[in-house]
Amino acid sequence: MTAPLAGTPAPERLRTTGAAGPLAKVQHLCTAPNLAHSATLMSDGRPTTVPLWVGVEGDRLAVLTIPDSIKDRNIRRDPRGALSLTPADNPYQMASVRGRVAERIDDERAWAIIDRIARAYTGEHYPERSNRVVFLIDVEVAWSATF
C-alpha cells in the first residue's frame, strides 16, 4: 500500500527519471554505496539517529526500515527528517539533506526499491522478503562539501 503521510500534501507533480532540484546537488553521493545517518524526532522532540542505506527513486530519496520501529513511528508522527553521509573512501567529503517523507510504501513496489538499494550496497537482492517498508523523501535542502 502506498499512502501519503499525515500532514503531507499529495504530490502535484509527476516523478522524473532523474533527480531534480536540491537532490541533484547530492545525488552522486546518494547513488553510491555510502552509509548514511538518518535523524528523526522522538515524540518529546528529542532527535534520534540511525545508520542506514539510501537510494534515489526519481527525484526522491528512498530509505528502508522495519515496520513499527522507532524510525517508522517517528516518521509517521512527524515526516520531517535529515540525513547525512560520508563516503568510506573519502572521509573529508560529505552530504547533508533535510526533507519530508512523502510516502510510506509497504506493498510489492517496496521490494523492487529495496532490491535496487541492496544491489547498490551488496551486489545482491535484499535477503529478507518480509518485515520492511520504504520511505520516499521529498528533499527540501541539500548540499555537499569536501574539506
- Model confidence pLDDT, tens digit, residues 64-104: 999 999 999 999 999 999 999 999 899 999 999 999 999 99
Characterize the bridge pairing of strands 133-146 and 60-65: antiparallel
Classify domain 18-146 at the CATH topology level. Answer: Pnp Oxidase; Chain A (2.30.110)
- Model confidence pLDDT, tens digit, residues 2-36: 555 444 433 332 233 456 799 999 999 999 999 99
* pTM attached to this predicted model: 0.85
